[in-house]
Amino acid sequence: MNTLLLNNIVELFSYDQWATEILMQNVSKLSDEEYCQSLTVPFNSVNGLLQHLYYYQEKTLQKITQPNAAKKIEVKLPRSLLAEYILRCVNNSLAWALECQTTQTLIDAQTLQTIHHIHAHNNYHRGQLQVALSILGHEPKSLDIFLYRDQTDTKIL
């Protein structure tokens, strides 16, 4: 049972990495004006949504990998660093999941709940960002999980 659970956790983080990389490609096409433009979306802009997404990804990564650490998380990162920090965070999350899978680490219920919460959170806000890109007149590449499975030849576990 633990192997199946760990495989599913790796798939969640693999999808998260894939979708986040595409999202960052989509966002990179925005002008600085569009990136900061006030919109009727949560956190008021693409920048605001990305700042929020990064903060909670980093906070969750710390919670599951270093539960006793109290590392300060950068807030209000400049655009030039934000995509890099977000991608680093999702890559580190996937690396953690792969290490757990390799070592057959037992995942406690609280950690599992945290993983599911951050996955739902990321999906929700990536969807909002895709809508924001559309509002700004762009046609973002799809983040659909079935497209991910087709492109990565991932089998449903």
Residue 7, burial from CB neighbour count under 10 angstroms (0-12, 13-18, 19+):
middle
145 within a domain of the structure (yes/no): yes
Q: Write the pLDDT tens digit of every residue in 109-146.
A: 999 999 999 999 999 999 999 999 999 999 999 999 99
Domain that holds residue 125: 2-152
pLDDT in tens, 52-90: 999 999 999 998 988 777 677 877 899 999 999 999 999
Residue 157: inside a domain, yes or no? no
* pLDDT score of 155 more than 80: no
Position 53 in a domain: yes
Total count of domains within the chain = 1
Distances (CA, A) of 77 to 45, 51, 91, 103: 14, 7, 18, 35
Tell me: pLDDT of 156 over 70: no
Q: Is residue 34 part of a domain?
A: yes
Higher confidence at residue 27 or residue 70? 27
User: Which CATH number do you get for residue 104?
Assistant: 1.20.120.450
Supply the pLDDT for residue 74.
75
- Residue 129's CB is within 10 A of a number of other CB atoms, namely 23
Residues 66, 18, 50: CA angle, nearest 5 degrees: 65
Q: Give 17's contacts (C-beta < 8 A, 6+ positions apart).
A: 90, 91, 93, 94
Asked whether residue 138 is assigned to any structural domain, the reply reads yes
User: Is 12 a domain residue?
Assistant: yes
Q: Is the pLDDT of residue 1 over 60?
A: no
Whether 78 maps to a domain, the answer reads yes
Taking the mean position of all CA atoms in its chain, how far away is CA 101? 20
